[in-house]
Chain A
Amino acid sequence: MERRGDSATAIAGGPAQSRAGRLHRGDAWRTTALGILCALMIAPLIMAVIISLKSPSQFTRVPFLPTWPLRWENYEFAVQIISQFLLNSIITSGATVIGVLLLSSLAAYSFAQIRFPGRTFVFYAVLALMMVPASLTLVPSFVLIRDLRLINTYWSLILPWIAGGQIIGILILRAFFESLPGEMFDACRIDGASDWQIYWHVALPLTRSMLGVVAVLNILGTWNNLIWPTLTLPERKMWPLTPGLYSYMEQYYTSYGRVMAGLLLGSIPLVILFVFTSRLFVEGLTSGAIKT
């Protein structure tokens, strides 16, 4: 009798309660397992922090545990070298992201809202490039950049990056512009607005957060590009941060403290970007799943 009564109240207690009780059990071992995974993920970074505060002789004596005094001068040394690379990255990734946002939003608006003859064909011509991998174009792109005499200029990074980066931007923004109510745009046209005015005064302001998503995706892509800049920029002082960190480690490999300080400093800009745009960040990274 009693048991029956219990189950009756459990059912009467509503779905919320039973959901909490039955859907999620065993938090303890899950948290432990994930905690261990997270600790392992962060372990190399903790190692880097510890080593970055050591002088060479401290490292020889006790390589992987903290030693005092902490050698902050490793960071001072690294800043001097890293800052030039960082500046190069900001210039090239910054110019690229501006170009990508401008070109892809214009094209996406046109594809979504203007019914010009041939629009489907042109759109598929853009879409088809999703299938062309960087490996096919690497060698000819290099020769093209050389023939255009852009070697050893920032343009050798910016122009190809704009061309490649705008494709995914067009896809994301076109889907967004198509989801906006068409009546709104028609109303603007009846009021006499040109397509340029609608694009600038109506469409762009509405799409601010999507532009943010495209920007974050684009910055992540160009920021992490390791090999292309080493091909088109013979002078190392023009290299962006990613290849710059590589050459920095090659050059100072045996001063471990300085190397680790440099690698950690080089990680900070993306962390800052993430802190300010975390929502766009997650949205951008998972936006690939929208396509399915």
Chain B
Amino acid sequence: MKKSLWERISETRAGYLMVAPTLAFLLIFQYYPAVSGLYRSMFDWNAGLAGNFIGLSNFVELFTDDDVFIRSLKNMALLTIWYLIAFVGLSTGVAVLIHRIRHERSKYFFRLFMILPVIIPAVVLILLWKFIYDSTIGPLNTILIGVGLQDWTHAWLAEPKIAIYAIMFRNFPWIDGVSVLILLAGLQAIPVEIVESGLLDGASGWRRLRYIELPLITGQIKLLVVLTIMWGVQEYSAVWAMTQGGPIDSTQVPGMWMYFNAFRISRMGYASAIGVVMFLITLVATILNMRYIRSQEY
């Protein structure tokens, strides 16, 4: 005999009670701000005022009348492409190198070492690099002068044409510990038999990498690509801490521009519109990626 809905609900009321606190938190601090952000992006809204509904004017202004925003999108694309090369490309290389080391102890040591960029707080690395780039006392210029390349010295974070590249190339040699660990886990999961039979067929070195290992860690690589794109679109704490978007907006990224509009000149509706654009970019990127992954599997 089938129980009625009310009976089932009352039997499992503990389930609802257990989910209730989570839902309360999510509704107040996640869903409400998200909906409010979408809604307020259509307002001319200052903090403290009710604001006027202006339809899509904020978005029109963003794309037709805001050179800084367009530049911030270009910077975002540049940085994201760079993060893909550095975080995914370079990390794959490092993971394969570590994976192929025969000596167990040194293998363990290098794997442990890759945690270093994770346990040093990100802000410490950013601030150390801000110091390294310092035009008068920074080690980078000191080294350049020391080896006789005075002409190459720059005020790295203060010259509009150079600052964005300085931000890009921070944290040299750009190893991302988390990516390396994820890729290593993938490499270690490859059955030895597969690699061995490949070796018997004469696949070694590059061919082993190209035809055996890379195809078997595409899952991990795709995951990292998605995460890196989402991160690259959102991230602005490095810009915030190193240049605040300057000099003359040359290092502006969408997140920083949103921050500036909301909290420096109090254009909160306009800032919400920037947030919506960033949301849509990540959404499209993720959907495309999921589509791509799915079509690969079938």
Contacts and interface: CB of A to CB of B under 8 A. Distances in A.
B191 interface: no
A136 B121 contact: no
B234 interface: yes
A104 B19 CA distance: 9
A139 B94 contact: no
B23 A159 contact: no
A interface secondary structure, majority: helix
Contact of A135 (B131, B204, B254): B254
B230 interface: yes
A196 B14 contact: yes
Interface string A211-231: 000000000100110110001
Interface in B39-68: 40, 47
A19 B97 contact: no
Interface residues of A, number: 99
B272 A289 contact: no
Contacts, number: 278
A170 B22 contact: yes
B250 to A, nearest CB: 20
Interface string B1-38: 00001001100111110110111011011111110111
B220 A117 contact: no
Contacts of A42: 116
A215 B276 CA distance: 30
Interface in B117-167: 117-125, 127-132, 137, 139, 142
A114 B129 CA distance: 51
Contacts of A48: 128
B195 interface: yes
Contact of A286 (B22, B131, B181): B181
Contact of A139 (B22, B37, B227): B37
Contacts of B26: 125-126, 129, 163, 166-167
A249 B127 contact: yes
Interface string A88-109: 0000000000000001101101
A23 B199 contact: yes
Contacts of B112: 278
A189 to B, nearest CB: 11
Contact of A44 (B129, B204, B259, B283): B129
Interface string A251-292: 000001001000110110011011000100110011011011
A7 interface: no
B88 interface: no
Contact of B227 (A131, A167, A288): A288
A172 to B, nearest CB: 14
B234 A220 contact: no
A205 to B, nearest CB: 17
Interface string B100-123: 111100100010110111111111
Given A131-B286, A286-B185, A291-B223, A226 B116 contact: no
Contact of B15 (A33, A116, A142, A256): A116
A242 interface: yes
Contacts of A103: 21-22, 25
A161 to B, nearest CB: 9
A136 B124 contact: no
Contacts of A202: none
Interface in A143-195: 143-144, 146, 159-160, 162-164, 166-167, 170, 194-195
A157 to B, nearest CB: 11
Given A37-B175, A143-B47, A166 B25 contact: yes
Contacts of A132: 30, 34, 279
Contacts of B227: 288
B86 interface: no
A14 B200 CA distance: 14
18 contacts: A20-B102, A23-B199, A44-B128, A47-B139, A114-B12, A116-B9, A122-B19, A131-B283, A135-B255, A135-B258, A140-B272, A142-B262, A195-B15, A196-B14, A226-B240, A270-B121, A274-B115, A289-B220
Question: Nearest 7 A-B pairs (CB), nearest first?
Answer: A24-B102, A163-B29, A114-B15, A116-B15, A116-B12, A110-B18, A140-B33
Interface of B: 5, 8-9, 12-16, 18-19, 21-23, 25-26, 28-34, 36-38, 40, 47, 94, 97-98, 100-103, 106, 110, 112-113, 115-125, 127-132, 137, 139, 142, 172-173, 175, 177-178, 181-182, 185-186, 192, 195-196, 199, 204, 219-220, 222-223, 227, 230, 233-234, 236-237, 240-241, 254-255, 258-259, 262-263, 268, 271-272, 274-276, 278-279, 282-283, 286
Given A25-B102, A44-B125, 8 more contacts: A37-B175, A42-B116, A64-B139, A117-B9, A166-B26, A281-B115, A285-B181, A289-B186
